[in-house]
Amino acid sequence: MAESLLAPRRGALVAVRSRRLRLGRFAVVGAVVMAAGALLLVALVELAGMSPHLAYLIQALFSIEASFVLSRAWTWSDRRATGRRGIAGEWLRFHTSRLLTVPANQGFFSLLVGLGVGYLAANAIGIAVSSAVNFVVAHHLVFRSKEDAS
């Protein structure tokens, strides 16, 4: 009897641990993608002599693809869709969600750079602002659980 009374509490603890693990994985993926994107941004601006605005766009495209692959493979690996249509659906939902955040980040980046903020700092600020939105959208819309999808 005591065992049956504890079952709901165990379920809640497992759910909390699962959320913390997913948030931790999201943060690690974000840090890795941010570091790789920053290195690419520096290489394009400093080594290739590219405009910071064009370099930002290129690193944003790279970062979006890297983020999708790592998020699908690790952060939400327990929710991966299977088959060509499932993967294509996740890819489409992921990229559709970025149709809002990428232009907003590009505009914010350009504004900050125009105000004299360094391009690396402007990039980091934009990532910080959009991360919370990206997590919620990915969790509830992109990599949906079977219960959310039905």
- What would the pLDDT profile of 99-150 be if each residue is shown by its tens digit? 888 888 889 989 999 999 998 899 889 888 888 888 989 998 898 876 555 4
Number of compact structural domains in the chain: 1
Collect all residues with Cβ–Cβ distance below 8 Å to 148 and sequence separation of at least 6: 140
The candidate with the shortest Cα–Cα distance to 97, out of 121, 71, 79, is 71
Q: Residue 108 belongs to what domain range?
A: 2-149
Q: What is the pTM assigned to this prediction?
A: 0.73
Q: What is the pLDDT of residues 60-109, one digit of tens each?
A: 899 999 999 999 999 999 887 776 678 889 999 999 988 888 888 889 98
Q: What's the pLDDT score for residue 21? A: 92
**What's the pLDDT band for 3 if we cut at 50, 70, 90?**
low
C-alpha to C-alpha distance for 14 and 11, rounded to whole angstroms: 5
How confident is the model at residue 121, as a pLDDT? 93
User: Dihedrals φ, ψ of 42, to 5°?
Assistant: -60, -45
Residue 4 binned pLDDT confidence (cut-offs 50, 70, 90): low
